[in-house]
Structure 1
């Protein structure tokens, strides 16, 4: 019997997403109405996505949830979460028969606290398996029993908490043949159908997916996945959806992505973009960030163009916690937020693609607040090749701002010295973090930053400043 984490009647997860999307939309609206710590001045991504009838999610890692900015963005911006590693076999059952549920349970708890749906990732995969399984030299019948027991334990524990499972992850080679995994060697291709049937038996309300990478466009690999889906459906196997991971390279989004999504949808399957990130050669610059923003727009539009594309999940919260630089040498900056937790041009592109519009209010209406912060930017002295600047921040909100960060874009400007904060620059973006001696701006309080910078030719003042991600007046 699978162990259940529920001590009372379990909350029903979204076997069908519409009702929950409406709920998350209202929840997000409440967050913004409260207005205290929104990661962006506009409506959060989860809310504008819900208006389009899709979810917008992120992979999260339990170990990073102790970082305030990471936790805030993860909770406020996304309506769905995927455990980055906590539900993988190696993490759950490092020793045979001994499950470590704590980190995975924490992901579920976080999702419940923020009214988010959870995508289970993953039940059967060739990678990140414990050594006792990889090195066990098990027979086919033994592997079958081990796989069934694992699915029963994990899917059973989280039945009612997980709306969908990546039941089988990455079963294909690039040429569309089956991967030579421990499962394929021991059980043949039938392990995929068997895993889906077992997962459906354990949690009949969960949506069951096959998930793979390099299948965003029409190619040999996605053809193999398509042919498998046709066979499984013909055999009556409980397959409900296809997960298209979408670990992409900037400037190389497949032109056939929408058509590829559509052909799976035409089989009666849901499709989800499950692990989206778009990497570039680092360091980033304004041109690379614009291209990345265009690529994110292309992916979101491809999903929105197909009614059975039910959601998009980015693989991580911010560039500082992305897996990309550890795997792809010299590449990174793949997500919607930079390493200082500031939204990038890609964030704005996704927001616009989802139909969001910022409403800064009427600045001539004295009864309408202009925002929770105000910035006064002054050029104190200009000598042609450089200048001295002053930036005064005022907290015009009704509550204190702790661990503040101010960011602005200033292409062509290189700060050589800054004071009254911790200064950094990346790709034309300047970020100043609170110094240890002044970490909090109380309501109505101001602080002044100073800097010296080099510049190339004539440069315009920054058009926008963001305090902890919120646009200032």
Structure 2
């Protein structure tokens, strides 16, 4: 059972309070046990004709809670992070080992998940003997490696990243051992060799920093256009998607994906994560959520974008902290294997419920992607004031305050402001007072401030207008100690609610 579900079950009670006054009715609802399990990322993606996958690696497979989530239905596709690369599969020339790759393939087969092969030719993670080869021996060694590995996994992988990262950021070709020996022709040769070994697999070229328009994306477009015109077997372009909140979102991503698709190629988001400088902040979380949303929507808008793979699903095993010191928190599960609010953002982008984030402790308490020495313990529900209610009355606004999940020192609350009047609300301010010293620690979809026990929330730019019959949702993570009683007094736009 996931930590999120455990918390929700531990907080499995309900209380409702309707507060009436000056034309505003406020309903307060405490957590309820879910009637049924939520749909998964894979299910939402499949409904759109895509897959939703995760990378993984052999060391992680000894972590039973991690594997339970990995294979529990959230994902329908796996990419081995390292176990199919050259240094693992052919560490000594002519001596092949597939034990690690086979372990990932077997896991996928046991859980009806597809496998993306990663990768056959790359300038990095090469055993020393490859880089030391005389120029005249490189082509034969490359072809032998591709043939052996692609034949071994024939029928077990649906796609191969045949050539990985062939370009520098300025769009020039990377001068690795293969390019130095064979020129740009090594790419076509690698694709033809892979096709001969496994004609049924989709063949991709995969690279980073080609998500949006720019020199590198243009170079990739020119390459695959040339390959297509030559009749070289190529089926798709892999768009890695290693993004960062401190940099702008790639421009024209949807249009860029579409131009590759217009060549008759599939495109796939192959290694998605969005890192940030640490410590994590609410502002960076919001940017990260926007970036994930933008990527998902760009893929859904292009019919030949076949799926999305995140580069492992949890901060616990992310590559980011060791590669980019001082950065982390790039994934939708935290280092304790708990879902972040980001998870709900991805669900919404895939066309699922647009409920606010509701599943994890505040990100401000997660200082890095390094697993903490201990994890939060699930607590029983705190003592609460017995639910009371007042008769409903007509009014212009209806507000629902819901404690969605709760753990030993924290909780998540969702708030919905509905306009039940006949005209639009243009700009709103919501206030309440906590009775037990609770503190707002992170928020979304509203500008929160707190002075002592009083909380004030004002609209942000995109949700200030609530049309008649419409609503807007916001939420926050908070801290509590001892008792977490629901608020009993609210004002909306200065009107006090009894």
TM normalised by structure 2 equals 0.66
Alignment pair present for 1:148 and 2:153: no
CA RMSD of aligned residues (A): 3.1
Question: Is 2:288 the counterpart of 1:283?
Answer: no
Specify the alignment match of 1:161 in structure 2. 156
Residue 397 of structure 1 corresponds to which residue in structure 2?
none
Distance 2:287 2:42 in 1: 23
Higher RCO, Cα 8 Å, sep 6+: 2
Deviates more, 1:317-326 or 1:283-292: 283-292
For the residues of structure 2 that align with 1:181 and 1:41, how far apart are their CA atoms?
Answer: 49
Q: Once the 2 structures are TM-superposed, how far is the Cα of residue 69 of structure 1 from its aligned partner?
A: 2.2
Matched with 1:16 is none
Q: What is the correspondence of 1:162-311 to structure 2 with a 5 Å cutoff?
A: 162-250=157-245, 252-311=248-307
The question of 1:376 aligning with 2:381 is answered yes
**Pair 1:406–1:144, CA change in 2 (3 A):** farther
Matched residues in 2 for 1:255 and 1:198: separation?
A: 35
| Contact 2:118/2:160, CA 8 A, preserved across alignment | yes
Query: TM-score, structure 1 length as denominator?
Result: 0.70
- Compared CA separation, residues 267 and 260, structure 1 to 2 (3 A): same
CA shift, 1:300, in A, is 0.2
**In the TM superposition, what is the alpha-carbon distance from 1:291 to its structure 2 partner?**
1.8
Relative to 1, partners in 2 of residues 1:157 and 1:286: Cα closer, same or farther, differing over 3 Å? same
Change (3 A) 1:283 1:188: same
Deviations 1:166-206 (Å, cap 9, x if unpaired)?
00000001111111110000011000000000000000000
Shift of 1:102: 1.1
Structure 2 residue aligned with 1:348, among 344, 348, 360?
A: 344
Residue 367 (structure 1) aligns with:
none
Q: Counterpart of 1:119?
A: 116
- Does 2:86 align with 1:81? no
Q: Tell me what 1:68 maps to.
A: 64
- Measured in 2, the distance between the counterparts of 1:406 and 1:82 equals 37
Q: Deviations over 1:440-462 (max 9, x none)?
A: xxxxxxxxxxxxxxx973278x9
**2 CA distance for matches of 1:265 and 1:407?**
46
Partner residue, 2:127? 130
CA distance in 1, matches of 2:106, 2:282: 38
CA distance in 2, matches of 1:58, 1:45: 11
Contact 1:342–1:407, Cα closer than 8 Å, also in 2: no
The Cα shift of 1:376 comes to 2.2
Identify if the C-alpha distance between structure 1 residues 144 and 298 changes in structure 2 by more than 3 Å, giving closer, same or farther. Answer: same
Aligned pair partner of 1:357 in 347, 353, 360? 353
Taking the TM superposition and a 5 Å limit, the aligned residue runs for 1:51-62 are 51-62=47-58
Find the aligned partners of 2:307 and 2:64 in 1 and give their Cα distance: 26
Q: Deviations over 1:260-311 (max 9, x none)?
A: 0000000000000000000111111222212211110010000000000000
CA contact (8 A) 1:409 1:428 kept: no
Moved over 6 A (4+): 404-407, 462-465
Q: Cα–Cα, structure 1 residues 207 and 67, in superposed 2: closer, same or farther, change >3 Å? A: same
- In the comparison of the two structures, how many residue pairs are matched? 354
- 1:139 is displaced (CA, Å) by 2.3
SS in 2 for 1:376: coil
Gaps of 5+ in 1: 1-34, 360-372, 381-390, 395-403, 412-426, 430-454, 466-473
Deviations 1:144-163 (A, max 9, x none): 11011101111100010000
For 2:408 and 2:168, locate their aligned partners in 1 and report how far apart those are by CA, in whole Å. 45
Deviations 1:88-134 (A, max 9, x none): 00111112222221111000011011111100000000000001112
**Equivalent residues of 1:290, 1:345 under 8 A apart:** no
Instruction: Quote the Cα distance in structure 1 between the aligned partners of 2:183 and 2:110.
Output: 41
- Select the structure of larger CA radius of gyration: 2
Q: Using a 3 Å threshold, how does the CA distance of structure 1 residues 290 and 150 change in structure 2: closer, same or farther?
A: same
Secondary structure at 1:78's aligned position in 2?
coil
In the superposition, relative to structure 1, how do residues 305 and 99 fare at CA in structure 2: closer, same or farther (>3 Å)?
A: same
- 1:62-100 Cα offsets, whole Å, 9 max, x none, are 111121221122112111110000000011111222222
**How many Å separate the matches in 1 of 2:84 and 2:70?**
18
Corresponding position: 1:98 with 2:103: no
Quote the residue 2:18 is aligned against: none
